[in-house]
Amino acid sequence: MSNIVRSSLLLTSASFLSKFLGMIYIIPFNAMVGPVGGTLYGYAYTPYNIMLSISTVGIPLAMSKIVSKYNTLGDYETGRRLFKYGTILMIISGFIAFFILFFSADALANIYITNEAKSAISTDDVAFVIRMVSFALILIPAMSMTRGFFQGYESMGPTALSQVAEQIVRIVFVLVSVFIIVVILKKSIATAVGFATFGAFVGAVGSWIILLVYWKKRKPFLDRQLAEQRVRNDIPTSSLLKELFSYAGPFVIVGLATSMYQFVDNVTFERAMVSGGYKDFEIALGAINTYAHKLVIIPSTIATGLSLAILPAMTKTFNSNKMNILHQQINQSLQIVLVLVIPASAGLTLLSDVAYGTIYGLANIDLTGSLLAWYAPVGLLFSLFTVTSSILQGINQQNFSIISLLAGLLAKVLLNIQLIHIFGPKGAIFGTALAAGIAVALNLWRIKVSIQMPYRQTVTRTMLIGIFILIMGAAIWIVRAVFGLFIPYDESWWGAAIMLAIGVTVGGGVYLYFAYASTLLERIFDGKVPVIDKLLAKWKRA
């Protein structure tokens, strides 16, 4: 199995576990704060994610690329020097981002909520939760710089473990604080959500501890590399910083994409829903941008892990001018996403009502389940945008990511209100799908023309994946039709949970069987897949 695949699987596993934990904790969180609390939570995290991306200016991933580049040349001192100055820069930008978000909370609240009389959420509530989440910006930018340094050495363990630690610490703090505030002290939902968003700061502290332990452990080895290096470029610090920023700017685009789409929804959704005569916009917006989004982005963690893993290796290959190998790496990267994310998104669409009902409850399931069904396929577009943007960065075409995102975002801004007027709340999903689709199509085109990239193999295997998805869909439809005769999955939580478990088991099993038996997985992953081999061996023995 190639180093890209191993690194991808490590980061993907960590990201998946982190996102899975994030989905699981939302179950008790939703039970305590409800749909209004979910919408309030989304109001806080959308500007926070935007400021987080801007405050890091894409430097951590750019750091990964530059460290990999100079390590390949045998120059370790340059990477260490850049790490020092980059960390100082991240500390400064983190404080600046904190002050901006903290003091702009009232203005953002007034943009989001235009008619308090018709809303269950006040502008004071929105401003409070935004201020509480802003504290995390003090720590996270510098922390992500350290992750980028380790990734430049193709060492993904520190990033993986710190991500999981950050999520666990955050979740424990969120659930304990919300329980105390809502259940014991009987305080307001806004107060509880405010402390929940402050959990981002607490989680960052836990992540920092892990990274510092890794740094202390690895520092003797890194120091030996410095002492033994024979190549020295003596690049001025000003030139290094210029190179860093030339790479860094477009990196922010990947992190901004989803948050910008959500920001457009936050600004336009209430206005469009009220003027269109639709009610309960808080329920719909919370379902899309908070609760359903938690489910949709789980398959996208595959792309996140892959994008982090492929960048150092792809940069090395591109700088070595090994185009045949580069084409193979790009095809493999795209196919890993497609073979795993397409069935996950399709399965989530087919089981949307029971998935949403099991995790968040059956209240308003006709609306919320339908929204999840439409939103699930958009997760594939998020994944492809993340990976294609990372590929562009690896082949020094990173500036084009700005063009592709802005093109998609322009379509979202121009059409979002009209789509909501025509299609109701799912119009916002259509707007996001259109925006992400435009960005992905432009990225793929740019990759093709830049390095004469052949997509034939990827297209052929995607068609095969599509055939397996049709078979999987038929299997899930049969399961729902048969078991639905005696399992009340649309009326009870236990029924929805059982139907979800059966549907995932049968649908996933059917897809994996055909993907494995056809050798599709073996071809994409450069060899046998040990986990499936063991499962099949046990099944045959049984």
3-state secondary structure of 487: coil
- Residue 534: the pLDDT is 58
Q: How confident is the model at residue 51 (pLDDT cuts 50, 70, 90)?
A: confident
The residue-averaged pLDDT of 497-509 equals 94
Q: Where are the alpha helices (DSSP H) in 424-492?
A: 426-451, 456-483
Q: Where are the alpha helices (DSSP H) in 276-322?
A: 281-286, 293-319
The C-alpha atoms of residue 422 and residue 238 are separated, in whole angstroms, by 53
The residue-averaged pLDDT of 331-355 equals 91
Out of 68-77, 296-305, 492-501, the most confident range is: 492-501
- Residue 353: the pLDDT is 93
Average pLDDT, the chain: 85
The residue-averaged pLDDT of 442-448 equals 94
Start-to-end CA distance of the chain, whole Å, equals 29
Angle at 512 between CA 508 and CA 517, to 5 degrees: 155
Would you say residue 10 has pLDDT above 70?
no
- Residue 228: the pLDDT is 79
Q: How confident is the model at residue 432 (pLDDT cuts 50, 70, 90)?
A: very high
What is the DSSP secondary structure assignment for residue 454, as one 8-state letter? Answer: -
The residue-averaged pLDDT of 220-229 equals 84
Would you say residue 530 has pLDDT above 60?
no
Residue 279 region by backbone torsions, left for phi larger than 0, else alpha for psi between -120 and 50, else beta: beta
The residue-averaged pLDDT of 289-317 equals 73
The residue among 365, 314, 302, 293 whose CA lies nearest residue 339 is 302
The C-alpha atoms of residue 311 and residue 306 are separated, in whole angstroms, by 9
- Residue 434: the pLDDT is 96
The residue-averaged pLDDT of 352-374 equals 90
- Which residues are CB-neighbours of 48 under 8 A, at least 6 positions away? 101, 130, 133, 134, 136, 137, 197, 200
Out of 6-15, 68-77, 125-134, 326-335, the most confident range is: 125-134
In degrees and rounded to multiples of 5, residue 186 shows phi and psi of 60, 35
- Which residues are CB-neighbours of 127 under 8 A, at least 6 positions away? 105, 106, 108, 109
The C-alpha atoms of residue 168 and residue 155 are separated, in whole angstroms, by 22
- Residue 319: the pLDDT is 78
The residue-averaged pLDDT of 508-515 equals 92
**Interhelix angle for 493-517 vs 352-360, to 10°?**
130
Q: How confident is the model at residue 428 (pLDDT cuts 50, 70, 90)?
A: very high
Would you say residue 25 has pLDDT above 80?
yes
The C-alpha atoms of residue 142 and residue 81 are separated, in whole angstroms, by 15
Q: How confident is the model at residue 85 (pLDDT cuts 50, 70, 90)?
A: confident
The C-alpha atoms of residue 190 and residue 422 are separated, in whole angstroms, by 32
The residue among 263, 251, 250 whose CA lies nearest residue 412 is 263
- Residue 529: the pLDDT is 54
Q: How confident is the model at residue 127 (pLDDT cuts 50, 70, 90)?
A: very high
Q: How confident is the model at residue 302 (pLDDT cuts 50, 70, 90)?
A: low
3-state secondary structure of 396: coil
Q: Where are the alpha helices (DSSP H) in 185-236?
A: 189-228
Out of 239-243, 319-323, 442-446, the most confident range is: 442-446
Q: Where are the alpha helices (DSSP H) in 153-188?
A: 157-178
The C-alpha atoms of residue 206 and residue 75 are separated, in whole angstroms, by 32
| Cβ pair 434, 282 in contact under 8 A | no
Would you say residue 542 has pLDDT above 60?
no
Helical (H) or strand (E) element with 265: helix 237-275
Would you say residue 18 has pLDDT above 80?
no
Q: How confident is the model at residue 476 (pLDDT cuts 50, 70, 90)?
A: very high
- Residue 192: the pLDDT is 94
The C-alpha atoms of residue 2 and residue 108 are separated, in whole angstroms, by 47
The C-alpha atoms of residue 377 and residue 258 are separated, in whole angstroms, by 14
In degrees and rounded to multiples of 5, residue 395 shows phi and psi of -110, 20
**Interhelix angle for 426-451 vs 323-350, to 10°?**
170
Would you say residue 267 has pLDDT above 60?
yes
- Residue 344: the pLDDT is 92
- Residue 96: the pLDDT is 92
In degrees and rounded to multiples of 5, residue 500 shows phi and psi of -65, -45
- Residue 539: the pLDDT is 54
Would you say residue 222 has pLDDT above 70?
yes
pLDDT tens-digit profile of 149-196? Answer: 887 887 777 888 888 899 899 999 999 999 999 999 989 999 999 999
Would you say residue 78 has pLDDT above 90?
no
- Which residues are CB-neighbours of 268 under 8 A, at least 6 positions away? 416, 417, 420, 428
Would you say residue 369 has pLDDT above 60?
yes
Q: How confident is the model at residue 58 (pLDDT cuts 50, 70, 90)?
A: low
Would you say residue 11 has pLDDT above 70?
no
Q: What is the pTM of this model?
A: 0.77
The residue among 55, 75, 404, 32 whose CA lies nearest residue 182 is 32
The residue among 240, 274, 213, 309 whose CA lies nearest residue 2 is 309
**How much of the chain exceeds pLDDT 70, in percent?**
88
The C-alpha atoms of residue 298 and residue 20 are separated, in whole angstroms, by 7
- Residue 415: the pLDDT is 95
Q: How confident is the model at residue 376 (pLDDT cuts 50, 70, 90)?
A: very high
| Cβ pair 35, 286 in contact under 8 A | yes
- Which residues are CB-neighbours of 373 under 8 A, at least 6 positions away? 349, 352, 353
The b-or-e profile of 287-315 (16+ CB within 10 A means b, else e) is bbbbbbbbbbbbbbbbbbbbbbbbbbbbb
The residue-averaged pLDDT of 60-75 equals 80
**Interhelix angle for 400-423 vs 237-275, to 10°?**
10
| Cβ pair 195, 181 in contact under 8 A | yes
The residue-averaged pLDDT of 202-212 equals 93
Would you say residue 536 has pLDDT above 60?
no
